[in-house]
C-alpha cells in the first residue's frame, strides 16, 4: 500500500490553491497517509502567444497526463474546462469535485467602476480583456462597440494589467477569483443568459491511472454526483461538436432532483451570429442529452459557424 500520494499540479497560484483543496480533502479522509504536491510545468505556462494561436487542446494538461502515465505522480488536479473531452488511454477522471460558481465575472477598473458600475454601462470602445473566444463572441454579440483585446497570464497578472490601465475591464471565471480570496474584486457576475459558461467551468477534475486501484479508491469519495452529471452533459455537447476550449462554444447544465437541463451555444468568432438551444431530460441520460443538443444545433447551422 502506498504511504505517500503525489498530486501533480501546474505552478500558478490558482492551480496550487486548487491542488491544496484536493490535498486537504484527501488528508481529511486519510489522516495517516502523506499527501504532497509536485509542480509540473505545462506548455500553456511557458508560451506567451494567444491561446487561439498555440492551440487550446491540452496546453494546460498534457504534461500532467504524461507525468501520470510515467508514474511520476499518482493523480493530477485540473480545472475541468481545460481538460480535453477525450483523455489518453489508461487514464480516467476519477472525481469531479463539488462545483464552485460556474459563472463568468467582470472586474472593472476602480476608476471606471465609480462611473460605470456594470458591463452594460461601459461606454463605447471600452477595452475589455479576455483570452477566450467564447467570451469574446458573447461580449461582441451583445455589445458590438466594445474593444475586446487578448490578455494572457495568471489571475494576478491580469488584474495587474487592468489596474495599470491597459484595460477598462477584464472577464474571468468567478470560481478562480473566489478560490484565490479575490471575490471582492468582482464588479459584476454575469448570468448564464448573458454569458453562457465554458463546459466544466468552476469544477475541479481529479485524473488518475485507470489501473491504479489504490489511488482510485482514495480519490473516488471526492466525486460529487450532481456536478459530475452536469459536467458530463456539457462535455458530451462539446465533444460531439468537435470543439476544444478555444472555440466559441458554451454549455451549462443544472441538475435538480431527477432532472437535468442543459443550455448550449455556438457562435462565430466575432459574435455576429449565435445558435443557441436548450434541452432537458432524466439526469441519468446526461451524455445522451449533451449529444442530442449538439445535433440539434448542428442542424440549425452551428456547423457553418464552427467552420468560420
Cell of 230: 452536469
Cell of 279: 434541452
Residue 107: strand pairing partners: 170
Closest CA to 34 of 50, 19, 23, 22: 23
DSSP calls for the chain: --SEEEEEE-SSHHHHHHHHHHHHHHHHH-TTSEEEEEE---HHHH--S-HHHH-STTTTTHHHHHHHHTTS-SEEEEEGGGS-SSPPTTEEEEEEPPP----EEEEE-HHHHTT--STTTSPTT-EEE-S-HHHHHHHHHH-TTSEEE---S-HHHHHHHHHTTS-SEEEEEHHHHHHTT-GGG--EEEPTTTSPPPTTTT-EEEEEETT-HHHHHHHGGG--HHHHHHHHHHHHHHHHHT--TTSSEEEEEEEETTEEEEEEEEE-TTSS-EEEEEEEEEGGGHHHHHHHHHHHHIIIIIHHHHH-
Whether 82 sits among the annotated catalytic residues: the reply is yes
The CA-based dihedral angle spanning residues 198, 150, 19, 21, taken in that order and rounded to the nearest 10 degrees: -60
Catalytic residue, chosen from 82, 101, 104, 212, is 82
Cell of 181: 480570496
Rounded Cα distance between 19 and 165, Å, is: 32
Active site residues: 82
Amino acid at each position: 500500500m502506498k504511504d505517500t500520494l503525489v498530486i501533480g499540479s501546474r505552478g500558478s497560484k490558482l492551480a496550487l490553491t486548487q491542488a491544496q483543496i484536493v490535498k486537504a480533502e484527501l488528508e481529511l479522509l486519510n489522516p495517516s497517509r502523506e499527501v504532497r504536491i509536485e509542480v509540473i510545468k505545462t506548455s500553456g505556462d511557458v508560451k506567451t502567444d494567444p491561446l487561439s494561436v498555440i492551440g487550446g487542446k491540452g496546453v494546460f494538461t498534457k504534461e500532467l497526463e504524461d507525468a501520470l502515465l510515467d508514474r511520476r505522480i499518482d493523480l493530477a488536479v485540473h480545472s475541468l474546462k481545460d481538460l480535453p473531452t477525450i483523455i489518453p488511454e489508461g487514464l480516467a477522471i476519477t472525481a469531479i469535485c463539488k462545483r464552485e460558481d460556474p459563472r463568468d465575472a467582470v472586474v472593472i477598473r476602480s476608476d471606471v467602476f465609480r462611473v460605470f458600475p456594470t458591463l452594460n454601462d461601459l461606454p463605447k470602445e471600452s477595452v475589455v480583456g479576455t483570452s477566450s473566444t467564447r467570451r469574446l463572441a458573447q461580449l461582441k454579440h451583445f455589445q458590438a462597440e466594445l474593444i475586446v483585446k487578448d490578455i494572457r497570464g495568471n489571475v494576478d497578472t491580469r488584474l495587474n494589467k487592468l489596474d495599470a490601465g491597459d484595460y477598462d475591464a477584464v472577464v474571468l471565471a468567478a470560481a478562480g477569483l473566489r478560490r484565490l480570496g479575490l471575490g471582492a474584486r468582482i464588479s459584476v457576475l454575469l448570468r448564464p443568459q448573458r454569458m453562457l459558461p465554458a463546459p466544466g467551468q468552476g469544477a475541479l477534475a481529479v485524473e488518475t491511472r485507470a489501473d491504479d486501484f489504490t489511488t482510485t479508491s482514495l480519490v473516488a469519495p471526492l466525486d460529487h454526483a450532481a456536478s459530475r452529471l452536469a459536467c458530463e452533459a456539457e462535455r458530451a455537447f462539446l465533444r460531439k461538436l468537435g470543439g476544444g476550449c478555444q472555440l466559441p462554444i458554451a454549455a451549462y447544465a443544472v441538475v435538480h432532483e431527477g432532472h437535468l437541463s442543459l443550455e448550449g451555444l455556438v457562435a462565430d468568432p466575432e459574435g455576429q451570429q449565435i445558435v443557441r438551444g436548450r434541452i432537458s431530460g432524466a439526469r441519468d441520460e446526461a451524455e445522451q442529452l449533451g449529444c442530442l443538443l449538439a445535433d440539434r444545433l448542428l442542424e440549425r447551422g452551428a456547423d457553418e459557424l464552427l467552420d468560420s
